[in-house]
Each structure stands twice: as structure tokens, then as C-alpha cells.
Amino acid sequence: MAAGQSVTVFGAYGHTGRFVVAELRGRGFVPVLAGRDADKLHALAAESGHEARPASADDPASLDRALAGSSAVINCAGPFASTAAPVVEAALRAGIPYVDVAAEIEANADTFAHFTDRARAAGAVVVPAMAFFGGLGDLLATAAMGDWTAADEAHIAYALSNWHPTAGTRVAGRVSGERRGGARVVHRDGRLQYRHDEAPLVKWTFPDPLGPRTVVGEFTMADVVTLPSHLSVPEVRTYMTAEAAQEVRDPGTPAPAAVDEAGRSDQTFLVDVVVRSGDSERRAVARGRDIYAVTAPLAVEAVRRVLTGRTRTTGVASAGALFDAADFLRALSPHLTVDLPA
């Protein structure tokens, strides 16, 4: 159903936005380029041949123009603490689905808190964190749960070969840190909790060929918002290989460098998800390349499924709540290798 359908990409000229534009085009959609930097927007329009519509999160009329005639909007413009709510509002006014790629924990929590009732009442679909962090872990955990209705713990361990952050990643990290006063966040006893001690270093045994690796034991990402939004799991822990965690924190680490025609870097990743209930354990694993590039098929597949009615609910919903998780993951086979429980 994609042929000819327009999808607005807000933040189209950003690192992830460019991957999303290319993925939409490859799937038969017509990308509409939107963003606050008119010069960058028109440069991308000249390069890609797509329409440019300058818009700013603090100008509702410009957002309405950016979304006019589109079937959906994908928000790639951080910091999402500033852009998510205005673009969701514009999507609700336009009566179209909203998808974003936010990794900011607080911004995602705000989307659930502020728009759940309104979006449901309108019969709208709002999907926050439809990205490598938040969306992928949620899909893997949901698929691993299978017929379980609850679990005691969910663990999401990330192994990145390297982590060269984009400017957007650095800004998002800074904004999140400022919003919680420098505290770090964990999900325990069914709620978000804030701590000021150092996150522990622990060992995590990844599937072969990685094996045991030192990880930051509470490197908390958007999964602590997406999973608990629909899964009965009181404890959600996320982990990051120590070397990658150090790289993303180091102000001297360079931005990702393209090594192929698609613009992907040489970064590889493995996401290892374990859910536990009593003495039972289930596991789901995903492997792929470039956490920014793989966000594009995640977001675009979400749009495709929403527009073709392959959804389970309305309102604000994470990937695992909205879609058939195992089927969604299998649809990403050109971009991911996934091992799911039988």
C-alpha cells in the first residue's frame, strides 16, 4: 500500500533522518522533508528531489503545513524533550499516525503520560521510541515472553563493536542528564527510580562468538519505558559493553563515518534479551550493523503496518504492544538476524 503515500520526516536532514528518508523511498513511499534548518532542508531536497517544508516545533502552523496531505509523520528531530509533544499535537490535528525515534527516557515517558487518553479517544496511533533503543528491545522481549503473561525480570544487554555518537546523541544525553539533575535512572519494583551512585560493572555472557564481556550493569535506555508500558515485568535492566559506554561518554570520540554506499558505519551490534519467570528463562537475540541505520527500517516498518491496519490497539503504544512482535522482527530480515524462542 506504500506506493505514492506521502510520509513527512521531521528532522529529515539529520543523521538518522537521512536513513529514514532513504528507507521510505526504497519502500515506495514519498518522503516529505521537514525540519527547522531551511538551508539544510533545501540542500537535501536538491540532492534527493523530494519536497522541502521548513517547520519548527515552536510554530504550530508550520508543522500543520509540513504534515498537510501526508499519511503519517516520523519524528527524527531531537532533543525530543522539545519536539515530541508539538509534533504529536500536529499529528493529532492532522489525523495521522505519529512515530518517533526518541531514545530520551524522559521524553518517551512524557509521551505516554500526556497523550495516552487523548490519542485513544481520537482512535489515533502514537508510537514513541520506534528505534534501536526502546523499540527493538521491546519487540525482542515481547517475542521472548511468548505465551507468558508476566515475568519477574527482563534483561536487555547491548554489545556494540564501537559507539561513535552523532551530534544528536550527544544533545539527547545532555538534555536527559539535565532533566534528572545528573541522576541516573533504573527500573525497579515496577517504577522508575533515580540514583546518584556509580553504575556497577558486571559480567554478561553474550551468545557466541562474543561470550563473557564486561558491561555497565545499569546503562539504562528507553527500554525501561517501552517494556513496562505493556508487559507485566517489575524489573527491567539494561546493560552496555563497557568499551562502547566509554566511547559514547568521551567528548573526543568522533561521529560515525560512512563506509558503504548506504551511509552505514562499520559498527556491529548484538542485542541479547533474557526474560525470567521463577526458574524459567527465555531468550531472544538480534544481530546487525549500525544502530542508527537500523532504526530506519524499524520506524518505516511501523508506519507501513499502521497504515495497513496490522495493529493491535490504538493510542500511545510501544512496538511490542502494537504489533505482532515475532512477525515484525522476521520482516526485518534484510537488516537483522534474529534468534527467537521456538
What does DSSP say about strands 153-160 and 235-241: parallel, antiparallel, or unpaired? parallel
Of the candidates 128, 134, 129, 131, the residue with the CA atom closest to the CA atom of residue 316: 128
Of the candidates 286, 330, 322, 280, the residue with the CA atom closest to the CA atom of residue 305: 322
| Model pLDDT, residue 1 | 59
pLDDT in 10s for each residue of the chain, 342 residues:
566 899 999 999 999 999 999 999 999 999 999 999 999 999 999 999 999 999 999 999 999 999 999 999 999 999 999 999 999 999 999 999 999 999 999 999 999 999 999 999 999 999 999 999 999 999 999 999 999 999 999 999 999 999 999 999 999 999 999 999 999 999 999 999 999 999 999 999 999 999 999 999 999 999 999 999 999 999 999 999 999 999 999 999 999 999 999 999 999 999 999 999 999 999 999 999 999 999 999 999 999 999 999 999 999 999 999 999 999 999 999 999 999 998
Write the CA distances from 323 to 10, 107, 125, 137, 327, integer angstroms. Answer: 23, 22, 12, 14, 8
| Model pLDDT, residue 54 | 98
> 6-131+295-326: what fold?
Rossmann fold (3.40.50)
Location of C-alpha cell 534527493: 48
| Model pLDDT, residue 342 | 81
Distance (Å, rounded) from C-alpha 107 to C-alpha 88? 12
Distance (Å, rounded) from C-alpha 230 to C-alpha 233? 9
Superfamily in which the 132-290 domain is placed by CATH:
Dihydrodipicolinate Reductase; domain 2 (3.30.360.10)
Phi and psi at residue 117, to the nearest 5°: -65, -45
Q: Where in the chain is the domain with CATH 3.30.360.10?
A: 132-290
DSSP label at 136?
Answer: I
Q: Where in the chain is the domain with CATH 3.40.50.720?
A: 6-131+295-326
Distance (Å, rounded) from C-alpha 302 to C-alpha 323? 8
| Model pLDDT, residue 112 | 98
The verdict on pTM exceeding 0.75 is yes
Of the candidates 61, 29, 34, the residue with the CA atom closest to the CA atom of residue 45: 34
